[in-house]
């Protein structure tokens, strides 16, 4: 393994640029995550509640089992159970028999739950545009392409949408349940935070990118 020594042509310059890039990614990830949390607070939502409602909205009439939600959030069923109970008490989620398998109970959004997630979706589009208002179209395209290149190396292709560590309050962003959890201080962890918050990590798995 070649070691870069003092005086090596461009050696320290490359290292400094890498440090600056990773540090900027860390700051950006933390900033976006904080902004997302503040945005969701306006709807009295945490990240865990929002991600659960969003998943159920995408599932539609077929619903999701509690096990499905736990897998999606990379959590145990016991942890997810308390979150579902609170959503049900708030009238946002209901338990019903599956239309395809009468032996199976599934979770469905109530009308109030769907109305809430629809309102959040409309507001989120405006929030995202405001967040990126200082970044021009060309810069956005270049940034997205750069993040895709990094993401292809660090984000598994089977990665689900943003998983939750503590479903009651915050998101851990550890990656796929089949992948070893990241060190929260690592650049990989920060990158997953930012990609997931911007809705990019899930698109890797869906092939959109």
Q: What is the pLDDT of residue 168?
A: 40
Q: Measure the CA–CA gap between 150 and 200, rounded to whole angstroms.
A: 12
Using a 10 angstrom Cβ sphere, with 0-12 exposed, 13-18 middle and 19 or more buried, the burial of residue 110 is middle
Backbone angles phi, psi at 178, to 5 degrees: -90, 0
Domain boundaries, the chain: 13-206
Using a 10 angstrom Cβ sphere, with 0-12 exposed, 13-18 middle and 19 or more buried, the burial of residue 170 is middle
Q: What is the pLDDT of residue 109?
A: 94
Q: What is the pTM of this model?
A: 0.57
Residue of 18, 100, 20, 22 whose CA lies nearest to 59: 100
Q: What's the token pair of residue 44?
A: 């009295």
Angle, alpha carbons 13-16-19 (nearest 5°): 150
Residues 6 or more apart from 118 whose CB is under 8 A from it? none
Q: What is the pLDDT of residue 189?
A: 54
Q: What is the pLDDT of residue 12?
A: 54
pLDDT by 10s per residue, the chain, length 209: 444 444 455 555 666 788 888 888 889 889 998 999 999 999 999 988 999 999 999 999 889 998 899 998 888 888 899 999 999 999 999 988 776 666 778 999 999 999 999 999 999 999 999 999 999 999 999 988 988 888 776 444 444 454 444 444 343 333 333 333 444 445 555 555 555 555 544 433 333 33
Q: What is the pLDDT of residue 169?
A: 38
CA distances from 95 to 66, 105, 143, 185 (A): 10, 7, 42, 39
Q: What's the token pair of residue 66?
A: 């509690």
Architecture of domain 13-206: Orthogonal Bundle (1.10)
Are the C-beta atoms of 56 and 64 separated by less than 8 Å?
Answer: yes
């Amino acid at each position: 393994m070649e070691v870069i020594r003092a005086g090596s042509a461009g050696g320290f310059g490359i290292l400094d640029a890498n440090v600056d890039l990773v540090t900027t990614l860390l700051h950006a990830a933390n900033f976006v995550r904080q902004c997302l949390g503040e945005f969701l607070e306006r709807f009295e939502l945490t990240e865990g509640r929002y991600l659960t409602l969003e998943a159920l909205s995408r599932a539609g009439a077929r619903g999701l089992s509690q096990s499905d939600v736990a897998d999606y959030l990379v959590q145990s069923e016991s942890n997810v159970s308390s979150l579902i109970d609170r959503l049900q008490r708030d009238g946002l989620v209901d338990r019903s028999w599956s239309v395809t398998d009468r032996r199976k109970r599934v979770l469905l959004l109530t009308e109030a739950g769907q109305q809430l997630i629809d309102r959040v979706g409309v507001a989120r589009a405006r929030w995202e545009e405001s967040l990126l208002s200082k970044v021009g179209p060309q810069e956005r395209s270049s940034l997205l392409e750069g993040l895709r290149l990094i993401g292809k190396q660090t984000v598994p292709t089977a990665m689900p949408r943003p998983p939750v560590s503590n479903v009651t309050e915050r998101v851990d962003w550890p990656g796929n349940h089949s992948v070893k959890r990241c060190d929260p201080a690592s650049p990989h962890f920060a990158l997953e935070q930012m990609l997931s918050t911007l809705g990019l990590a899930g698109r890797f798995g869906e092939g959109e990118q």
